[in-house]
Amino acid sequence: MSIYDYEELCGRVHGIFDPEPTIGNEGEEWCETPPDSRLEVKYGLNTSYWKPFEYGSSSPLVRRALVQENDLAAIVGAQQVPRELLMGTLRLFGDSIIAYHGPSRRSGPYRFYPAILMSAWASFESFVRIYSQLLVKTAGDLPTPVEEALLEKEERIDTHGKTRVRRNPQPSLHRYWWLLKFGFGCQYDRGCRIWQMGQAAIEKRNELVHYKFSDMPSLKTTELWQHLEAILLLLIGPSSQIGRSVMPGQYEVYGILCELHDLVEEFEEKPFFKGIPLKLDSVLFPCGFENVDETKFPTMNQYFERTKTSEK
């Protein structure tokens, strides 16, 4: 049960995403969000490397291009996209907290949670794709097999001696590990707790995208929050190891997620028939195919005709 009434809760959520500006001697001041203490307390992550303006204009982590290339310009222009997608995801999560405030029923149909989880994972995948492209464009010397793996392509020579390029999809966590290794010099432990949490998040996402109908997966608020945290920890964990942030602004996004945690009320989104056994001979179901076996699956008219015949 929330300690806030509806109006207070709306104000709290609004304040998280649109806080009042800090006013200094020269007007509004922009302040960066430092790493949340939860990272060290719960996960033992050392984020002491972080300093304000880590990616400021004079930082060694920021570069200037002396070449003009359309593809590179498109990549640089897209670098903000992962953060924007994550912020949109968290805003939707905030909307769900408000929507589920106070009702006596603590479960309902799919509404917010599957979309939030898919959007969060799409944010992470966009980061992997954009920064993989950036690494290939900016690296001084990158082995061809690494470049091909990051770009999910494969070049082959056909029998006529012509080079053919085909798409070679790779799992997103594989590509991310390669990006960490060849882009950031980080061989992150794939057996560690944070990596396994990220793996669990993608498995839950896959249950919904590649729908696991035998389980009819549901999502609870705390479970969803943990998956959102796991996705952000995939960025923060390696950052702690190498002593620089993998994604600019990652602690701001994590801080917002932590603030939302304090407002969460448990709710479960699930399919209507989850947990309800169906007696197939007593229900109708959509089946618009051709060549249906009508002896086993008659239409209602066919069923009534057979019933009349059997009664004679």
The reported pLDDT for the residue numbered 278 is 86
The reported pLDDT for the residue numbered 70 is 95
Q: What whole-number distance in Å separates Cα of residue 150 and Cα of residue 144?
A: 10
**pTM (predicted TM-score):** 0.91
The reported pLDDT for the residue numbered 160 is 74
Q: What is the mean pLDDT of each run of 10 residues along the chain (312 residues)?
A: 85 92 62 93 97 93 94 96 97 96 87 97 97 95 92 82 83 96 97 97 95 92 98 98 97 97 95 88 90 92 84 64
Please answer whether residues 152 and 167 qualify as being in contact, where contact means their C-beta atoms are separated by less than 8 angstroms.
Answer: yes
The reported pLDDT for the residue numbered 1 is 57
> In the chain, where do the E strands start and end?
22-24, 27-29, 107-108, 153-157, 163-167, 219-220, 268-269
**How do the domains of the chain map onto residue ranges?**
6-282
